[in-house]
Structure 1
Amino acid sequence: MSSGRSRPDRCPGALVLHEAADGGLARIRLPGGLVDGGVLAALAALAESFGEPGAVELTSRGNLQLRGVPLGRRAELADRVAELGLLPSATHERVRNIVASPFAGLTGAGTGSPAGTPPPGGDGAPAAGMRLEDLVRGLDEALCADPELAGLSGRFLFGLDDGTGDIVALAPDAWATPAPEGHWWIGPAGVAVDRSGAVGELQAAARAFLRAAADAATGIGGDHSFWRVRDLPDGGAELAAGLRAGRPAAPRPAPRPAPHPVGTWRRPDGAHAAAVHVPLGRLTRPAADLLATVAAATRVDDGRDQASPRGDPPLRITPWRSIVVPCLGDPSSFAARARRTGLVTDPGSMWTRVTACAGRPGCASALADVRADAARAVTAGLVAPVALADGALVDGALVDGVPVGGVPAGGIRAGDMPSGPPGVRAHWSGCARRCGRPTGPHMEVVAGPAGYLVRAAGAEPKESRW
């Protein structure tokens, strides 16, 4: 049974920053991961102006971060974010946490196509005119217009899934996924509603959570807070029952899993799309400039894609440190141009399987420069450090006489080193908090006083039961 959190939520935003070891850390919410290419390039230029390392970071919720913001430039940052249209509400800026299926309508899987393309075979999906981006924007506007919801934690998560299950797997607190007969299944309530009622149901879930959290805190006493539904004493069971309000529970739609492509491909409507992986989630200014140029070259005015105010189809930041270009005008040259800026277009690249927290020097809690160590491992063809057994390397190689990853002799417990199936993922963490770790099975590489501990993790799904 949860007893709540003993400290308030300190999740950063664009107005209140986290004080990291390398300066201010600003987190900019992008509902649904949608961002205009020119806006992304402007943020990359701003990040570069703060000095080294000078990159925009992609988060595991499809948002963006800027590191190393000097104290004297915090007001400038806030003004610039507002000018770029990314700060519609100062009171709600940290609670605009909406993740949406970034490949909706682009691969033929799922529903909620921006082009209005139904999935093959029909199967009672929402009407062809439904666009997942419309639902993202409608929910965002509703959140910002609701004064009560400004009290949500910066960690409370809304999810809009296209039926593939990619967003539901991230364990959002309130979510919607397509159901038969043009309805949307709403969690955690477990009811099916028509499209017009989806946003209202998600708002109601958030309001009910705030009341349940307040009641739970009062019952426990002391200074405790509840950030997410799963933090409630019963894990959210009573909340789910209350949200149904006597309505019958609807069967939960079975997901239709689909891959997360990297590279270029042909969309169901005949146009082309692309997705690039951003190594360790660090987007440089040249890469952002390229993506902005590509997005501007595919400006549309026929309504096929939900365009930005400039007329460009918005780029989509994914929760997996990649960026989707939903409409690509020149696929033949795109991959080569992207690679020259450090972006990954090869789905078999080791980079698509490796993530890392900030590590040193950005995080004061970190015990290692995990990004540099992870990069050395990838260069050597590994996703994790090698282990030493009786002075001999296990499935690895030396770089300058040192085990890849900068691990000292005996720094890894070889017995905890899983062989892992082909394609196994790894997440590098600078300390035991393991910030940014992914969902699903992976190898966790955790820095400790004596070196890295490598072990299997993520076998238990984080998804809510409700």
Structure 2
Amino acid sequence: MTPLGRTEPDRCPGVLAVHEAADGGLARVRLPGGVLSAQQLRVLAAAAVELGDGHLELTSRANVQIRALRPGAPVELSERLYAAGLLPSISHERVRNILASPLSGLDTHGRYDVLPLARDLDRLLCARPALAELPGRFLFALDDGRGDLASAKADVAVRMVDSQLAELLLAGAPTGVLLPPEQAPDLMVAAAEAFLAERAQQQSEAWRLAELLNGPQRVLARLGLQEQAALQHVPGEHLAAGAGTAQAVEACEGGPALEGEGRVPRAAVPRAGWVQDGVGVGAFVVGVPLGVLDGEQAAVIAGVAGGWESLGASEAVLRVTRGRGVVVVGVAEEDLTQLAGCGLVVEAESAWNGVTSCAGRPGCGKALGDVRGDARRVVPGWSGGQKAVHWSGCERRCGKPGGEFVDVVALASGGYSVDGVAMTVDEVGDGVRVQ
């Protein structure tokens, strides 16, 4: 038994292992590095319209969910995704959980373009049969040095120190172990294999590395490594890092979305607007209210990105972010009107920035209210600001961000609790006081 008392294997949903929610089947499509092409977005949107409720949900791990799948629809969905290159491994489809800095290679703030490393890691992960046994919540991350994934609490991660060195992180904590960036994918899959071996040794059903007894130290020992002294150099030379191991933290798909312990500034999270200090073609961060794309919005994004893609651009023209937005490569000024016209967020001071929610009714049987519907009615009247706000349908607070946020929770008696104060839906705006 693990420190969190796990007694059963993780049943995190996928495409083949669909979760039966209150509104039908829920499929989660992994997007390693958050990357997809314009054509792949069209395939996902068409599948949502024809097989589900017509919407795509963006998750805090930069993946995509399709809800309300009808009986028999998962088979059709899997066939479509396989043909589109979104299901390259049947055996490993639930374990391809790979975060990467979404602006990597697009601006001057990263120290190394990590997207090629994310592709290599995905390929190596799928090539190791034993790694199909990883829990669906086990997470890899590649931070290009800007620190935007420092709060992700990934089980195995690397953070770029400069263009020639990366540091290994385990269970969200730096180890001081340095390596060339090109060696990172091999070491990361080796660390995942060490996790499985240690989990078996401890006779555990742990879902995360932090849940194992002395997990990070045991994994390092199995790799023939040991924790090094913390790096103390300034960011221009090396990233400062504190030594030590993380405490047990459960971070599933609906878990910490933006910030957590060892918080990164909210400015490190891509907000709506042009990518500053861009390199080459223009890139734009598009905000998606509550992380839910309808068919029209998906078509507009795909259309904008598709123009650049048709000119021979790489497949990484679209990148889903942990903040449930989309980075679109190849945007022109005239595209903004079209993006804003279908309800997407194109302004950094929009009231929608930093607002998240769980699924609420009718998708979740435990929810006490239609949080998304209420948020859509209330939030447009707010002034934009920096506060994070999370709407929850019940006390579980699924999908809540880490760090400080305004806590809006549906009440059984109707209305909401806003940071512990009961109020009606119409009063929530005053209770939030977005600054």
TM-score (norm. length: structure 1): 0.77
Distance in 2, matches of 1:2 and 1:259, equals 31
The one-letter code of the counterpart of 1:453 is S
Match of 1:236 among 181, 201, 216: 216
Distance 2:27 2:14 in 1: 5
Q: What is the Cα-based RMSD across aligned positions, in Å? A: 2.3
The reply on whether 1:251 has 2:237 as its aligned counterpart is no
Q: Letter of the aligned partner of 1:325 in structure 2?
A: V
1:453 corresponds, among 414, 417, 424, to 417
Superimposed CA distance per residue, residues 152-179 of structure 1 (whole angstroms, 9 cap, x where no aligned partner): 0000000000111111211111001112
The equivalent of 1:16 in structure 2 is: 17
Q: 2:26 and 2:4 mapped to 1: Cα distance?
A: 29
- For the pair 1:190 / 2:191, whether they are aligned, the reply is no
1:97 counterpart residue number: 97
Find the counterpart in structure 2 of residue 204 from structure 1. Answer: 190
In the alignment, what sits opposite 1:58? 58
In structure 2, what is the Cα distance between the partners aligned to 1:99 and 1:181?
Answer: 19
Number of equivalences: 384
**Equivalent position of 1:289 in the other structure:** 299
1:243-277 deviations in Å (ceiling 9; x for gaps): 45257556272389645231234653353111111
Q: State the AA in 2 paired with 1:428.
A: W
Q: Is 1:3–1:233's contact at 8 Å kept on the other side of the alignment?
A: no
**Counterpart position of 1:161:** 143
Deviation per CA, 1:176-208: give whole Å up to 9, x if none: 111246011111243111123211110111111
Q: Give the deviation of 1:324 after TM superposition.
A: 0.2
In 2, Cα distance between equivalents of 1:135 and 1:300:
24
Alpha-carbon offset, residue 238 of structure 1: 3.5
**Distance in 2 (alpha carbons) for counterparts of 1:270 and 1:181:** 19
| Partner amino acid, structure 1, of 2:17 | V
Give yes or no for contact 1:2–1:234 (8 Å, CA) kept in 2: no
Q: Which range moves more in the overlay, 144-153 or 232-241?
A: 232-241
**Which residues of structure 2 form unaligned runs of 5+?**
233-238, 242-263, 421-435
Gaps of 5+ in 1: 113-130, 219-223, 384-421, 457-466
CA–CA distance in 2 between the matches of 1:445 and 1:14? 31
Give the secondary structure class of the aligned counterpart of 2:94: coil
Q: Are 1:425 and 1:442, in contact at CA under 8 Å, matched by a contact in 2?
A: yes
* 2:329 paired with 1:326: yes
Cα distance in structure 2, aligned partners of 1:101 and 1:161 = 5
Percent identity of the aligned residues? 43
User: Do 1:185 and 1:250's aligned partners in 2 also have CA atoms closer than 8 Å?
Assistant: no
Structure 1 residue 87: deviation in Å? 0.8
Corresponding residue for residue 430 of structure 2: none
User: After superposition, what is the alpha-carbon deviation per residue over 1:207-235, rounded to whole angstroms, capped at 9, x for unaligned?
Assistant: 1111222222x2xxxxx510001212346
1:365 counterpart residue number: 366
Shift of 1:63: 0.3
CA distance in 1, matches of 2:398, 2:214: 25
1:450 & 1:254 partners in 2: Cα distance?
49
Find the aligned partners of 1:314 and 1:200 in 2 and give their Cα distance: 26
Write the deviation string for residues 355-381 of structure 1: whole angstroms up to 9, x where unpaired: 001011001111111111112220332
In structure 1, C-alpha distance between the alignment counterparts of 2:93 and 2:24, rounded to whole Å: 21
Q: Which one-letter code corresponds to 2:96 in the other structure?
A: R
Match of 2:274 among 243, 264, 267: 264
**1:430 matched to 2:393:** yes
Give the superposition deviation at 1:110.
Answer: 1.8
2:160 touches 2:166 (CA, 8 Å); kept in 1?
A: yes
Relative to structure 2, which stretch is displaced further, 42-51 or 202-211? 42-51
| Residues 381-460 of structure 1 mapped to structure 2, 5 A cutoff | 381=382, 423-451=386-414, 452-455=416-419
Tell me if structure 2 keeps the 8 A contact 1:161–1:167. Answer: yes
User: In structure 2, the residue corresponding to 1:7 is in which secondary structure?
Assistant: coil
Q: Secondary structure at the match of 1:350?
A: coil
Look up the SS of the partner of 1:11 in the other structure. Answer: coil
Kindly tell me: are residues 345 and 244 of structure 1, through their superposed partners in 2, closer, same or farther at Cα, counting changes over 3 Å?
Answer: farther
Once residues 382 and 213 of structure 1 are traced to their aligned partners in structure 2, the CA distance between those partners, rounded to angstroms, is 49
1:87 equivalent in structure 2 = 87
Instruction: For residue 93 of structure 2, give the secondary structure of its aligned residue in structure 1.
Output: coil
Deviates more, 1:3-12 or 1:63-72: 3-12
**Aligned letter for 1:380?**
G
Tell me which residue corresponds to 2:119: 137
Deviation at 1:335? 1.5
Instruction: Supply the distance in 2 between the matched residues of 1:151 and 1:204 (Cα, whole angstroms).
Output: 14
Inter-partner Cα distance in structure 1 for 2:145 and 2:289: 28
C-alpha spacing 1:292/1:213, structure 2 compared with 1 (3 Å): same
1:448 is displaced (CA, Å) by 3.3
